[in-house]
Structure formats: structure tokens, C-alpha cells
Structure 1
Amino acid sequence: MTAGERIPSVPGIITADQVVATGRSIAAIQEDDGGVPWPEGHVDAWNHVECLMAMSVAGLTAEARAGYDWLVRYQRADGSWPQKVVRGQATEPAGESNHAAYLAVGVWHELLVTGDEAFARRMWPVVRRALDFVVGLQTARGEIIWQRKATGEPAGFALLTGCSSIYQGLRCGVLLGEHLGERQPDWELAAGQLGHVIAAHPEAFADKSRFSMDWYYPVLGGAVRGAQARARLAERWDTFVVPGLGVRCVSDQPWVTAAESCELVLALDALGDAERAHAVFRDLQHMRHEDGSYWTGWQFVNRNWFPREQSAYTAAAVVLAADALSGATPAAALFRDAGRYTQPVTDPATCGCSATPSTPSRT
């Protein structure tokens, strides 16, 4: 089955034709070398992969594959990608761990959507190098440092949102390896350690609590599920969710963004909270542009689009949320399944983890 045979639609909210138009709005800005840039012109691997996943769901397989060719072309020997690439040139050369990890999510997603074994095997060495780079930034406690500098030194801290996405990447990498007969027990161990730290040790991460992503991403990535996940979302629901408009990007600004709204939709769907997932997805549709793209955000006090742009990564999040809610493609449960192997939280007071920061245990 290909994505073109089953395009998502969510009755009363978005039609299949509208989903295709949103996918095409991403393809419209894809560069000749396959890169999908931010509005300001740079490509980063995480947002790029998200856009490829959405184009695949929308039936734009050739465009998605051109994007995976971009990833092959620009991967460096250590398995990472430059933080920013502009027209083929690395403008910020540091390598981010969450950027590298998301490739595994994209390749596993593409295999689920298309069933293309040859593609998965061709991409496997690229995935392996990427996740080995990621695991090389894991500390003895289990969190994963967010960046390796151009000098080769790791940065000084880990990020909760990034690590939550990395957790999903490691789990997808393990599944991909098992599917291809290439088991990776080191990744499985790394995912288990990381999941525990995400669920039980908030002190392991830099404080970014004003950002809604740090609120819902531990659920979205799969490291936190069940009662703990429901309690986590309930705790700051009124802080971040604006009824009728969507989800704030940051707690202290009257600014809702479509991408964060869609990611919360995916998190709610992963918990089986279909009613609120549909409600949030419906609310964000006011940010849809007539060409099928989506405005990045809406400043609801000044009543202005902010920034005044339609971003490809925002369109991508809409398509993936529509797929999750509709169950249209074989990859629709990708974010639900991210928590399949999540373990109950160990009491932080008795787990034996160090409370002090640590450096990567691998080089």
C-alpha cells in the first residue's frame, strides 16, 4: 500500500484534497537538491525529516525520496548533519543529537507507509551512523547532550524536548534494525536509560519550562505514558491551551502556533484522548492559508500572524496529525507506538541515579 492510495481526512475538519494541498505546499518550496528549508532559508535535518514524512503521507513519494537523498548527501562521517545548511553550505557546523535521531523515525515511517524494503536497506547505514552519533552523546546517568560542537566537544547540557524526540528515534531505530535482521542492543539499552531519566529526573535537563514543547514532548516521544502522562498534561493544560485557537508556543506570550498545536494532538491521540485531540485539531484550522499551507502562528492580542510566514514544518505537523486521527496510512500509529516499550517510572529517590550532571560516557 502506498500513501497515494489512502490519503488522510478527518470528517468535519480537513478533507483528503486539503491534506494533499498541504503536502504540495511543502513540495513547492523544496530545493533542487531535495532540501526543505525554513522560511528564512536554512535546512536542518529534524524539520527536513518531518516534511518528508508528511509528503509521503500525502502521496508525494518522489519528493520525499529526493529529500532522503539530501540526507545521504549531507551526512558527515561522524553520523551527524550540520545544524544549518544554506544552499549546500554548512552555516552552523555543530551537530545536534535530536536532528540525527529523527532520521530513524523518518525511515521507519517511510517503510511503514510504502513497504519499500529496498529503500530501508539502502538507508540503514545512514541510520546506523546517525544513532551511533546520538548514543555517543549519552551521559552515564542517561540523558543525551543536545549538541556536539564543531570542535568535537559536547555541549554542557541536555534538553528535555530534544531527548524526548531522541527516545522515539532510538525506539524506531531498534524496530528498523530488528526488521532488517540487524539488532542493536546498545540502542535499546540507551533508550531504556533515556526514558527513565525523562520520566523521573527533570533536574537532568536545562530549564525550558516556558515552552509548551517541554510540557507535552515527553508524552509525544513515548517516554511518559499512562497515568503519569495524563497527569502531566492536566497540570499545565490551562497554561498552554487557548480554547478555540490552539496551543501557545510559550507560556508568557499570547501566541498560538499550529505546529505545537498539532504535536499536542499527536500526544493526545497517543493517550487515546480522541475527543480533545479532535477539538485541538479543529481549533487550529483558523491558521490554514488558502493555498493549503499554514501560518506558523497567531498573536491573538495584536491579532496578527507572527511570524508572517507559512512554514513547511508547520504544514508537515498538520498532515501527520491528520493521519494519526484518521488512521489512513500504515504509519498512522507511529506516535502511539512510540510508547509501546515504555517502562513504569522507578522512584527517583531509590533508583540510584546520580543527581549531578555527568559528561558523555562514550566518545
Structure 2
Amino acid sequence: MMGLLCSSCCGLMWLGGGIATLAVLYGSRAPPRQMCYGQFDPVIFLHRGNLTHGQENTLKSVVAGAAALGANPEIDVMSTSDKVAIIHHDDSFVRMTGVDKKVDATPWSEVQGLTVLAEVDGYDYGTTSRVPSLDETVTDACASNPTVVIDFDVKDDASAESSVAAWESSSCTAKSSSIFATGLPTTGRLMVNKLEEAGMTNHVSVYLHPGSYGPLGLYFFLKTGIFHAAAGASIISLHKTVWDVEMDLITAYEEMGYCTAIYGIRPEEMSLYPSASFYIIDEGPYFPDTPNGQYGGDGGTEIVTYDGDQSGFNGLLALGIICFPMLFLSWACCCCFCCRLKKSRAVPSQE
């Protein structure tokens, strides 16, 4: 009886494992929580503001260089140690101010005393600037252009709540076209909930930036849509290097109702990606200290690349398929055990 029970349990485990694996691989990419694709004309954002007018994520580039001139800025939102939302991209202030302090370990009172360097990434703007708060940035942008639309790239939960609150209470009139972007599905879900509570459009984007995704790889998360399903996002945002390789997958997302956003492109490249709903373009001077002299999506020190590696996805797919033969093997063992048990209990005939 114990052998029968073990064989049955093994069979059920293999069945459950196979179904669960295949469900993750093919069942996660569900339609968006709110239909988005084709609902409005494409929107163009300037990545970290118009960098020809001033340092990234400053009032010079975001307000004077973008909003006041009729352009829509993309801004990075982070929180200080005392949970004040500021406009800044890096985890540390060192690249922009020369002060090597972590953003989340620095209070707002100290941030107010920091000076954004005149020379950033090898380009000399000629004048210094400062790190602005989220509230003053949104207030000034809306005051300079009430129809401006903002792409909020939030880095943590506190910034997510602050971004939704700042946009909801702002004087801007085109709130439904803004994006609330994040690379974290949990933060994305928080923003979806906050937007729904405020009665605002769910334009939450989860971006998959080329980089380290462990043994599964970026393709796994793009193919399955796990992050987007977990967040309840309506937008999938990808670097142009991913667009160049995975156009079929991107088209499939659009057909399901997702809006698509592309970043890491220059203005002259927009026509190469006509189906995108949102364009986050790099508008700025030549930066000697960055790859190819431009940001290319993340402003890092390395050129952004995507290799399209599918080994993680295919490995799990193979595992899911293997589960089913193992299921039948377990059941076969179970049947054999039952037959042997029946024979052993048979009473010998007497003559």
C-alpha cells in the first residue's frame, strides 16, 4: 500500500510541476488590466529633460528646456532618507554633484545644499544647477505649460506614491497621457492601485532594461509577461536594442492591448519604430564620458546591448515537457505495483 501511495503522489507531483511550469511560460502573458494600445496618438518624451538646455533632471532641462517649450519631459523620481521625493537618476549624488552620498541615506535638508556640477559626463554647461524636489518640478512644469505630459520614472515605493499624488493635485490638464514607469513589479502594482483610487488612467509601465536577470534572462520575463501581469501594467517599455530583436513579441503585446514604449533612441530614429505608443528620446549635446557620446537609454558607462538569449526560457520549457513523461512513468509504476499486489494476494487453487 505504501508503494501505491508513493507512486500516486509522484505522479501528481509531476503533473502539477508540468502544468505549473507551462502555465508560467505561456499563461502569464495575459491582456493588460486596462486596454491601452490605439487609444490615443503617440506621445514623445525627452529623456531626463532637454539636455541641450541644462543638466539632466534639473529645472533648466525639465521646465525651461522642455515644458516651457511645448515638449514633454521624462524625469527620474527618488526619495531621500526622510521620504522627500526629488528629481535624480543615480543611487548616489557623486556623478551629478561630486558628493559621494547615497540618495536614500541623505535627508532633504542636505540635498538642498548640493550643487549640480557645471560639467557632467564630460560636457561643460558653463553654469551650475541644483537638485529639485518633485513637487516644485511638477508645479513649475504645469505653470509653464498646463498641457504638458510627464513620464515619471520612479525608483521606489515612496516615490511612486509621491508621483501619483503630485500629478493628481497638479494644475496640468492632460493627466491621462502621462506614464508612471518602474522596473519593479511591486512598485508598479502600488502605482496601479493608487491611480485607480484616484480615478486616473492606468498608464503604468514596467520596463525591462537589458542587463542581469539571473539564469532566466530578460527574454524569459519578456516572453512570459510575469512582471507586467504582477504589476497590472498597461504599458511595456523596452530599450531599442530589444525592439530590434524582439519585434514579433512586441507586436504580440500590442495585439493584446498593451501600449509599447521605446527608449534609448535619438529623434531621427523614431520613424524606425512606427508602432510605439510612447517615445522616450535622448535630446542633448555630445557627452565625451558616455558611450557614443550620448545616453542611449541609461546614461551608464557601458554601451547597452541585448543578445536575445532564450536559454532560460527554453530550459524551463524542456523541464515542463519532461514532467509529463515522468507522470506516465509514475503511473506505470503504480499499475505494475497494483498488478503484483493482486497476484500476491491471489489464493492458490486446490485439487
Q: TM-score, normalised by structure 2?
A: 0.32
Higher percent of residues as strand: 2
The structure with the larger Rg is 2
